[in-house]
Amino acid sequence: MSKKTDPDELLIGLVSISDRASGGVYEDKGIPALQDWFGAALTSPWRMETRLIPDERAQIEKTLIELVDDIGCDLVLTTGGTGPSRRDVTPEATLAVATKEMPGFGEQMRQISLQFVPTAILSRQVAVIRETSDHAALIMNLPGQPKSIKETLEGVKDGEGKQLVPGIFAAVPYCIDLIGGPYVETNEAVCKAFRPKSAIRPAK
């Protein structure tokens, strides 16, 4: 566990939520997929803290609070546990630790996934802000499959790379600006961060 010390560094918490992966039944694929994606997508300084935990609501809540309040993560992403089955409790745990709900992220995630499968409407992914007295973080529930994670973050592109449906990460850097986090810059070939002109800083 390494607390945040550099205000210019984006500290990302990655939480994979799965009874079977956390129990060693199969290998977790969510965290490696996210590590690879951020390695390609971010051009400004970043670091991550990872957790692999079972589908237990109390443990999910405790983990999210630890990553934001104790370690100082600016962004926390979960994978898994967002469907309608009895063990899927990630959205409930996320909402329980929230200060503000950010419904647009969940709406857009489902819009993206509906380009591929009609069962996307069964997903209950949410996004929230958690605030403490001196810190705030964006927490988002992502899908569990690596292909779906990439599509959700980047959006849908045609064969020539033209954006057909925007991905959710384009809005994340500006959201982090607004809650007092570090200035995040991206590799535009992967995902172009969108900010109003007044919020764009000159390149270093």
Q: Judge contact between 74 and 42, C-beta under 8 A.
A: no
95-134 burial code (b ≥16 CB/10 A, e <16): eebbeeebeebbebbbbbbeeeeeebeebbbbbbbbeeee
Tell me what pLDDT residue 158 has.
85
Tell me what pLDDT residue 118 has.
96
Tell me what pLDDT residue 88 has.
95
Give all domains of the chain, ordered by start, each with its CATH number: 10-191 (3.40.980.10)
Burial group, residue 183, by CB count within 10 angstroms (0-12, 13-18, 19+):
middle
Q: What is the pTM of this model?
A: 0.95
Q: Which residue has the tokens 């690596």?
A: 146
Tell me what pLDDT residue 98 has.
98
Per-residue pLDDT of the chain (204 residues; tens, 9 = 90+): 678 889 999 999 999 998 776 666 677 888 999 999 999 999 999 999 999 999 999 999 999 999 999 999 999 999 999 999 999 999 999 999 999 999 999 999 999 999 999 999 999 999 999 999 999 999 999 998 899 999 999 998 888 878 888 999 999 999 999 999 999 999 999 999 999 999 999 876
The residue among 165, 191, 141, 156 whose CA lies nearest residue 38 is: 191
Tell me what pLDDT residue 20 has.
73
